Structure 1
Amino acid sequence: MAQVQNAQGAGNMWTDEARTTFKLAWPLVLAQLAQIGLSTSDVIMMGWLGPEFLGAGALAHSFMFFFLIFGMGLVTAVAPMMAKAIGEEDEVSVRRTVRQGFWVCIAFSTIVIPFMLQIDHIFLLLGQEPDIAVLAETYARVGAFQFYPFLLFAVMRSFLAAHNITMVVLFATLVGIVLNIIGNYGLMFGNFGLPRLELLGAGISTVIVHSATFLFALFYALALKRFKDYNLLQRFWKPDWQRFFDVIRVGVPIGFMLMAEVGMFSVAAFMMGWLSKPELAAHAIALQITAISFMVPLGISQATTVRVGICHGRRSPIGVMVAGWTNIAMGVGFMVFTCMLYILFPGFFVQFFLNPADPENVAAFNFAVTYIMIAGVFQLVDGGQVMAAASLRGLSDTKVPMAIALFGYWVVGIPVGYLLGFVFEWRGIGVWAGMALGLAVVAVLLTIRFAQRDRLGLVRYG
């Protein structure tokens, strides 16, 4: 009888964790989908300007996102730090972490933005065509300043999620996507009496939208009575160097890990640019489509880090186990569904970006269909790696996962993609096959590490 009750209790732990995670995660998932909707609306409307604008704009966005994702990794450090502090009921630590998260955002953005403003010269050095480089610069001229609000909003999102407040994040992001579409329609195409600015207009709209979402989340947190005791902005300019460097210490490995993956996709974009404009445009479309489905496990992973971090702060190895594996199962399970969709119906998704009836789009459309089918295969491992990484992140285990990511993406993924694409002349198919292999290596190694967390001392309490 006792064994039956123990089994029932164990079963309740898993189902309770699944319910708790779902309640926390679904607004974050929808917020991530809305967030990717911002860039998706940009890509779709760039396509309305023509394949050349689409290729240049997507390449510029891909290049900037390579650095944005590193910055997001830096500030993602506040999520496990706050979750652990909440589990320990340490309000002072939460307050210090938020403030210094803001400091890290501002410092990083100030360093990177001048570099982004030289994007045309960088693209020329990397072998891109001059007209593509010039068009990319028009987007980056203003779009580079999105670093400040984008990263500051990431801090606020982590703060609110750590307190189980995610609906406001969803609301802010949904409003943002509507504003972005309206802004693009007016500034890119000269509607509503505004000048036709094309890619420059897309950059302006992006900065405005990210600024609005950050300010909304910030003022919401400041107005909420339950957060009054935090005094988030009191003595904001007073340095707290210990916590500042704590955020950097935890965040840099996360940033490099995320950067390694996004960097692989960015390098792949440059390799596509060496092939042809239709293949570059097709790559941008396929990448955008797969990025949309990736937002679901990414949103769940944000909840994963919080759930594992809270259990870690409560010194509960069993809670860590249940939270980690439940979330991994949820993320990978969703990607099984998208894998089937992309393999069976690739053309359905591509038609939203390019009209196959237009003779100018036929080549890019066919390439994109092929890449989407390949992407369907690596949906599974892509979901696995992000969920395993989030579980480890909840334990503040970031250095070894960073090394694993660098190995999988840069030692395996990129070289194999180049070898298959250019030496064996598989072209874009080879590049995408290399990326799939890199993701698979990282997913397997990170999952093994989480499975061995006790033996490795990641949850040992003394």
Structure 2
Amino acid sequence: MDFALGADIPVHMHTKTMTYPGHVKAVTVLGLPLIGGHLAQMAIGVTDTVMLGWYSVDALAAGVLGSTFFFTLFLFGAGFAWAVMPMVASQEAEGDEVALRRTTRMGLWLSVAYSLLVLPLMFWSRPVLDLLGQDPGVAEDAARYLRIAGFGIVPALLVMTIKSYLAALERTNVVLVITIASAFANAIVNWALIFGNWGAPEMGVVGAAVASVVTQIVALIGIIIYAVWVFPHHQMFVRLWRADWDMLGRVFKLGLPIGLTSLSETGLFAGSTLMMGWLGTVPLAAHGIAMQLVALTFMMHLGLSNVATIRASNAFGRRDWKHMARGGHVVTVMSLVFALLTIAVFVGIPMPFINAFMQENEPARAEIMAIGVGLLAMAALFQMMDGIQVIALGLLRGIQDTAVPMVIAAFSYWAVGIPCSYLLGFVFGYEGVGVWSGLVVGLAVAALLLMLRFWAVSYRRLKSATPNRVS
């Protein structure tokens, strides 16, 4: 556990003791734009899913498979972008502008290097998909998607890094605005290229891939312009080519475990997608719809997790343990409240949401609906656990504790979640519902162990090692 990163921080910044209502207000002000930004980002994926579903079930299945492959690799590389957030937030609390510039630049370096490393996997994905037992027709369409969409990983990871830099400096509104603009751009290009509207060629799933790349490039241009305009004194892109090996090593050391943690969780969901693919095209399409709905609600928890990271990092930089504890309590309770609301919706009125992803004349409509309702019932069960585990991860990243959480995540998702999904889905014959039940078990184990890690080990050790000097 690397607490040495902040061991020599001078305590020169002071804050008044903040009440719980004060924390709720602060989390809301900082968190709403982040949550909105995540929702807008998800809207890009939902737009792809909805429009491909309108085009055909085969195109929808291929899009689900291809995008799952893409985001599995993307989220691993995003670990370096995520590492920028707690480091810059802590450096801002210290008043060290040079360090935060160095951190962000090396985050950009690592994002580009990783993108170039995984691009060949995107371009030659067909053998991998065949090896994973996917339907040959769906696998071929997914591979065609990835040969184009794969190029979007470079701008996507650069955008993620700059977003982390801006969020750590509490410039979250622009993240929301740029992401919303990107979502509109994606919808427009999708409408033109998937269906051949406005004189454009009809490209189906390949059109969705082109739209994704265009969207990421638009977002990158917009966020760079904003960062340079608002923080010209940081000189973020001046002599960007100059290596800073010491800081690159620090970002890598913090970011690699974060990336592996994300890969473990994403791998759990990617594994479930592959298993649903073994059940057939229709179950895979139903799984894609349910997963998009779950991912949308998860954005609330992810936004709160980002707030937990930023505020815990600031408290870490000031050595203000009371502030950190109260903030941790608030984000956890807010996440639980939203999870309860989501459970009520998924169990009470699932059909209108599933309907939105299909045309009225879809031949497999009734079958997809029946499977989707069952999957959303399972999704309601793991909503609470999913929220708790991501909040715990956000708090742990705020204090730059990433190595042990990586091990916990790998154990929970791969040693528990994936085997349970396979056993319940195929050995015991519960099929899709069984596969999703395994997700519930893996997330529950992760939630319990990660919360224990923060409150019973990491936070307690920090507090006992250094007295609270501020609040």
> What TM-score bracket applies, with the shorter chain setting the length?
over 0.9
Residue 428 of structure 1: aligned partner = 432
> Do the aligned partners of 1:317 and 1:459 also contact (CA within 8 Å) in 2?
no
Give the distance between the partners of 2:213 and 2:91, measured in 1 at CA: 33
> Do the aligned partners of 1:141 and 1:200 also contact (CA within 8 Å) in 2?
no
* Structure 1 residue 193 displacement after superposition: 1.3
The residue correspondences of 1:255-404 to structure 2 (distance < 5 A) are 255-355=259-359, 358-404=362-408
> Do the aligned partners of 1:354 and 1:365 also contact (CA within 8 Å) in 2?
no
Unpaired stretches in structure 2, ≥5 consecutive residues: 1-14
Tell me if 1:44 matches 2:11. no
Give the distance between the partners of 2:300 and 2:369, measured in 1 at CA: 25
* Structure 1 residue 349 displacement after superposition: 1.0
Structure 1, residues 149-173: CA drift from partner, whole Å, max 9, x if none? 1111111111111121111111111
For residues 99 and 10 of structure 1, do their structure 2 counterparts lie closer, same or farther at Cα, with a shift above 3 Å needed? Answer: closer
Tell me if 1:135 matches 2:162. no
* Structure 1 residue 18 displacement after superposition: 1.5
Tell me if 1:455 matches 2:456. no
Structure 1, residues 395-428: CA drift from partner, whole Å, max 9, x if none? 0010111111111100110001101111111111
1:188 aligned to 194, 203, 213, which one? 194
The residue correspondences of 1:24-35 to structure 2 (distance < 5 A) are 24-35=30-41
* 1:196 partner letter: E
The residue correspondences of 1:57-136 to structure 2 (distance < 5 A) are 57-136=63-142
Give the distance between the partners of 1:204 and 1:112, measured in 2 at CA: 19
* 2:95 partner letter: E
Give the distance between the partners of 2:96 and 2:54, measured in 1 at CA: 52
* Structure 1 residue 457 displacement after superposition: 3.9
* Structure 1 residue 266 displacement after superposition: 0.4
Give the distance between the partners of 1:269 and 1:53, measured in 2 at CA: 15
Give the distance between the partners of 2:357 and 2:26, measured in 1 at CA: 37
Give the distance between the partners of 2:428 and 2:400, measured in 1 at CA: 41
Give the distance between the partners of 1:190 and 1:268, measured in 2 at CA: 33
* Structure 1 residue 339 displacement after superposition: 1.0
Q: Helix, strand or coil: the match of 2:465? A: coil
Give the distance between the partners of 2:343 and 2:465, measured in 1 at CA: 37
RMSD between superposed Cα atoms in Å: 1.6
For residues 250 and 292 of structure 1, do their structure 2 counterparts lie closer, same or farther at Cα, with a shift above 3 Å needed? Answer: same
Give the distance between the partners of 1:186 and 1:321, measured in 2 at CA: 50
* Structure 1 residue 460 displacement after superposition: 3.3
> Do the aligned partners of 1:294 and 1:383 also contact (CA within 8 Å) in 2?
yes
* 2:340 partner letter: V
> Do the aligned partners of 2:282 and 2:364 also contact (CA within 8 Å) in 1?
no
* Structure 1 residue 275 displacement after superposition: 1.0
* Structure 1 residue 31 displacement after superposition: 0.6
* 2:465 partner letter: R
Residue 144 of structure 1: aligned partner = 150
Give the distance between the partners of 1:156 and 1:251, measured in 2 at CA: 15
Give the distance between the partners of 1:460 and 1:393, measured in 2 at CA: 19
Tell me if 1:413 matches 2:417. yes
Give the distance between the partners of 2:335 and 2:165, measured in 1 at CA: 22
Residue 22 of structure 2: aligned partner = 16
Give the distance between the partners of 2:353 and 2:362, measured in 1 at CA: 16
* Structure 1 residue 221 displacement after superposition: 1.2
* 1:414 partner letter: I
* 2:209 partner letter: G
* Structure 1 residue 198 displacement after superposition: 1.1
Tell me if 1:443 matches 2:469. no
Structure 1, residues 279-334: CA drift from partner, whole Å, max 9, x if none? 11111111111000000111111111011000100111111111222111112221
Residue 5 of structure 2: aligned partner = none
Q: Say which is worse superposed, 447-456 or 254-263, in terms of deviation.
A: 447-456
Structure 1, residues 326-379: CA drift from partner, whole Å, max 9, x if none? 111112221111011101111121011124664322111210111011101110
For residues 116 and 287 of structure 1, do their structure 2 counterparts lie closer, same or farther at Cα, with a shift above 3 Å needed? Answer: same
* 2:45 partner letter: S
Percent identity (aligned)? 37
* Structure 1 residue 446 displacement after superposition: 0.8
Give the distance between the partners of 2:324 and 2:78, measured in 1 at CA: 24
> Do the aligned partners of 2:309 and 2:398 also contact (CA within 8 Å) in 1?
yes
* 1:362 partner letter: A
Give the distance between the partners of 1:238 and 1:332, measured in 2 at CA: 45
Residue 4 of structure 2: aligned partner = none
* Structure 1 residue 121 displacement after superposition: 1.6
> Do the aligned partners of 2:141 and 2:205 also contact (CA within 8 Å) in 1?
yes
Give the distance between the partners of 1:349 and 1:74, measured in 2 at CA: 35
